Chain A
Amino acid sequence: DAKTTQPPSMDCAEGRAANLPCNHSTISGNEYVYWYRQIHSQGPQYIIHGLKNNETNEMASLIITEDRKSSTLILPHATLRDTAVYYCIVRVGNNNDMRFGAGTRLTVKP
Chain B
Amino acid sequence: GAVVSQHPSRVICKSGTSVKIECRSLDFQATTMFWYRQFPKKSLMLMATSNEGSKATYEQGVEKDKFLINHASLTLSTLTVTSAHPEDSSFYICSAYPGTNSYEQYFGPGTRLTVT
Interface residues of B in 89-116 (CB under 8 A from A): 91, 93, 95, 97, 100-110, 112
Q: Say if the beta carbon of B26 comes within 8 Å of chain A.
A: no
Which size class do B's interface residues fall under? 20 to 34
How far is B45's CA from A103's CA once the two chains are assembled, in angstroms? 13
Within 8 A of A (CB), among B67-106: 91, 93, 95, 97, 100-106
How distant is B93 from chain A, measured CB to nearest CB, in Å? 5
Whether the pair B43, A100 counts as a contact (CB closer than 8 A) is yes
- Asked if A100 and B103 make an inter-chain contact with CB atoms under 8 angstroms apart, the answer reads no
- Judged by a CB distance under 8 angstroms, whether A99 is at the interface is yes
Given A43-B108, A45-B107, 12 other A-B residues pairs in contact with their CB atoms under 8 A:
A41-B112, A43-B6, A43-B107, A44-B93, A44-B95, A46-B106, A96-B32, A96-B49, A96-B97, A97-B49, A100-B36, A100-B44
Q: Are the CB atoms of B103 and A32 closer together than 8 Å? A: yes
Beyond A87-B43, A96-B49, A98-B34, whether A41 also contacts B103 by CB under 8 A is no
By a beta-carbon cutoff of 8 Å, the part of chain A in contact with chain B is 32, 36, 38, 41-46, 49, 85, 87, 93-94, 96-103
- CB-based closest 9 A-B pairs: A43-B107, A100-B44, A100-B43, A44-B107, A43-B109, A43-B110, A96-B32, A43-B108, A43-B93
Residues of A within 8 A of B43 (CB): 85, 87, 100-103
Q: Judge whether B19 is part of the interface by a CB distance below 8 angstroms.
A: no
A42–B49 CB distance below 8 A: no
Contact across chains for A46 and B104 when beta carbons are under 8 A apart: yes
If over half of A's interface residues share one DSSP class (helix, strand or loop), that class is named, otherwise mixed; here it is loop
How many Å lie between the Cα of A49 and that of B104 in the bound state? 9
Q: Are A94 and B100 in contact (CB under 8 A)?
A: yes
B102 touching A94 by the CB < 8 A rule? yes
A39 to B36, alpha carbons, bound, how many Å?
Answer: 16
* A98 & B95 in contact (Cβ 8 Å cutoff): yes
Q: Which residue of A lies closest to B101 (CB)?
A: A94
